[in-house]
Structure 1
């Protein structure tokens, strides 16, 4: 579907070279071009191939591609959340030969104007970053919250054996079956997160961050979250100290039998965080195979002891040193 480019706001001097860009709503037919454009993203660990089709079906999401001389050179996605007050910017992709030329800024401004025309009640733009924020960023954005990012890698069969040996012979993970890691059904999730304030002290800034997406505790947001394949856990439904959300494994482009697993951990109790990590891994061991990249988001102070735990107790390979997930927003 062609977009009315009259919605494009005036371009600043540094973006004048981008004259002639054409903006379209993304379609299934664009998939191959987009994949080719972004094949080096995240070192071949891009989530977009598994999300693209579902994104096109979300009624609260706008996905735009930029073309130059008929060729797709960039993509941006904006999802409207928080009762229509927040536009969440995700999935920016720019073709390698066009990076550093101002394409991203032009596309983002176009998407913002388009979304505001469709959802006039939008008040803020929110995004999640993992790159260091500089002085200009702090002038532009407010920081909502930060989490540490722990990225580990393992072979599924090796971890299955390791977990089996630890449980059978060393007995140190008997907590796997303890009530310290309680899986929640939809009714329990709704009850705990929306009808009480128990989670306010557990979540960072009363925000559910699920796989890079930050949500306020609102029924409309949970209507979105509960449509996803996510495992929800807490240590205690009546008085939670630690909570976690785990995506189902998804394939990534780096090669055959490569999967990604994202686990969002909330709370500061190291032992409970360890127990819930183990439970999430156990839950997916039956279906996991091949190589697995596991991204764990957690309280910054827990990063080092959790990195040691993953390496020493589970024999997982640490892929990166400490990095941060930072949720920021600005007024529209």
Structure 2
């Protein structure tokens, strides 16, 4: 097993026993091959097509491909965060014909050793999962936090009309909202001031973690610099003493079909009314000019899942794609 187009030889990790595989650093020329092994990923919600080019430009990220007989069969991305102490693992792809053969485990071990060679200060590996964790998982990982996942789909034009109708009756009986507070969209300097204030955010962030579109970050200055480079709307109910905070991505195209978009909303806090107000503000802002269909994932405190789902179905007349699932942030030591 070998790696090409990467580190000097004295920085390479040890060779693994899976001799038929070769590892290379991903380049722009590999895009089509990577898409070919990713066609059925996440039911068409694959984010990689829209992010691959940006990933290659990130200096703290390494994207590794596994090849068999020269053909791309797997991909893994690792990103160093948390002041260099954490290796964030994401983007795993394995070609359908190679699944179940141990390729993912070998690739992950190689990436871990590679990152450790480049960044010896890395202590833990973190990743997010949306499947049920079993006994074997807890032998490998420590659970950091859980969030509920609410996945819905809708026609942007229909939702825009529905929200417009709702806006005319904010605070009416049965809509679940009241005009007691107006969500505040934050400027970058306000984001830093609020999210780096442990006293303000300790009761809001789940186990002190900012989970943004599947990526878990500790509230540190270096991580805020990473997050503020992204297209994100940051929102709170109150700048001086927030109870609910939310982060919403700008819509990206996904390969479900023509004119399909993906929207991600991460919500922190336990107040349902405030969460609903911010949800409506995000949806209004980011569907206003869209034409087509939207798959929207909302991540939230698990007890809010059912009332939020009811609000989507009964008030916004939006379809739930699947029943309740959980997003689990887990970590393991890097040795």
- The verdict on a shared fold, with TM-score over 0.5 as the criterion, is yes
* Contact 2:262 2:296 (8 Å CA) reproduced: yes
Q: Is the partner of 1:197 in helix, strand or coil?
A: helix
Q: Is the partner of 2:100 in helix, strand or coil?
A: coil
Superposed structure 1 runs of 4+ greater than 3 Å apart: 3-6, 8-11, 169-180
Between the aligned partners of 2:42 and 2:178, the Cα distance in structure 1 is 32
1:232 maps to 234
* Contact 2:78 2:87 (8 Å CA) reproduced: yes
Between the aligned partners of 1:122 and 1:79, the Cα distance in structure 2 is 11
Q: Is the partner of 1:325 in helix, strand or coil?
A: strand
Superposed CA offset, 1:124-147 (max 9, x none): 000000011110111111100000
Superposed CA offset, 1:130-173 (max 9, x none): 01111011111110000000000000000011111222367647
1:102 maps to 102
Between the aligned partners of 1:45 and 1:189, the Cα distance in structure 2 is 28
Between the aligned partners of 1:283 and 1:71, the Cα distance in structure 2 is 43
Return 5+ residue gaps in structure 2 as ranges: none
1:14 maps to none
Superposed CA offset, 1:82-127 (max 9, x none): 0000000000000001000010001101110000000010000000
Question: Which residues of 2 match residues 23-34 of structure 1 at below 5 A?
Answer: 23-34=23-34
2:157 maps to 157
Deviates more, 1:190-199 or 1:172-181: 172-181
Residues 145, 9 of structure 1: CA spacing in aligned structure 2 closer, same or farther, 3 A cutoff?
farther
1:281 maps to 283
Superposed CA offset, 1:157-193 (max 9, x none): 0001111122236764796986431110001111111
1:263 aligned to which of 241, 262, 265: 265
- Tell me by how many angstroms 1:80 deviates: 0.2
Aligned positions, number: 326
Return 5+ residue gaps in structure 1 as ranges: 12-17
Cα RMSD after superposing both structures:
1.8
Bigger share in helix: 1
Between the aligned partners of 2:67 and 2:298, the Cα distance in structure 1 is 35
TM-score by length of 2: 0.93
Question: Which residues of 2 match residues 74-113 of structure 1 at below 5 A?
Answer: 74-113=74-113
TM-score by length of 1: 0.94
1:218 maps to 220
